[in-house]
Copies of this chain bind each other. A is one copy, B any other.
Amino acid sequence: MTAAAPADDRGAREVGRRIRSLRTERGISLSELARLAGVGKATLSGLENGVRNPRLETLYAITAQLGVPLTAVLSAPGEAPTVRGTAVGATLLEVFDDREATYELYRMRVDPGPAQLSPAHSSGVTEHVTVFSGVLRAGPVDAPLTAGPGGYLRWTSDVPHTYAAVGEEEVHASLLLRYPRPSTPDT
């Protein structure tokens, strides 16, 4: 199938896949979601299969019913990685400032191949990684840790550390950097 996809602007297909994922996660049928969202079954079917260019209104009705913002189903393909290295690409998703620390939340991708080294950060900085797919080997260069899908790694990054994908599959993960605030500058 899909020999000649009628309307694949290579974004529509991914959007469809995400919607289908969100729907099946919730355990509801296509028919039911279509009814709840007030759209036709044909519309939703074609949308999930990536054979339609949905109107914004349609997407909005569906994502609202799924309880997610529009941005959650729209791929950000042209998005330039914030950090880029030989093997690691990371996109900054959010920054959170607290009195005690600053957090930076990244989506990280590690390509197969040689490990990438990262210099030591300032004292007290910790890194938290949750692996989505692939197998990641990361941590201090002298004592790296390994985690597969769903796994969690944490280390203090005040020493040089390394990232590497184990095997041929590229690794997707969330990376959280925690920078403790050196002192509390009163406002």
- With A21-B97, A74-B74 already in contact, the answer to whether A57 and B12 are too (CB < 8 A) is yes
Interface residues of A in 99-137 (CB under 8 A from B): 99-103, 105, 107, 122, 126, 128, 130, 132-133
The interface residues of chain B lying within 8 Å CB-to-CB of A59 are 56
Q: Are B78 and A71 in contact (CB under 8 A)?
A: no
Contact check, A22 vs B152: say whether CB atoms are below 8 A apart.
no
Q: A60-B9, A128-B152, A174-B105 are in contact. Are A95 and B76 (CB under 8 A)?
A: no
Which of B25, B71, B98 meets A102, CB within 8 Å? Answer: B25
Q: Does A159 contact B (CB under 8 A)?
A: no
Q: Is the CB of B182 within 8 A of A130?
A: no
Q: Interface of chain A, helix or strand or loop or mixed?
A: mixed
Q: Mark A156-187, 1 if CB is under 8 A from B, else 0.
A: 00000000000000001010101100100100
Of residues 61 to 104 in A, which have CB atoms within 8 Å of B's CB atoms? Answer: 64, 67-76, 78-79, 82-83, 91-103
Chain B nearest CB, measured from A182 CB (Å): 7
Contact at A57–B132, with CB atoms within 8 Å?
no
In the complex, whether A46 has a CB less than 8 A from a CB of chain B is no
Which residues of chain B are within 8 angstroms of A21 by Cβ–Cβ distance? Answer: 95, 97, 102
Answer whether residue A150 sits at the interface, using C-beta atoms and an 8 A cutoff. yes
Q: Does A40 sit within 8 A of B, measured CB to CB?
A: no
Is there an interface contact between A94 and B107, defined as CB atoms closer than 8 Å?
yes
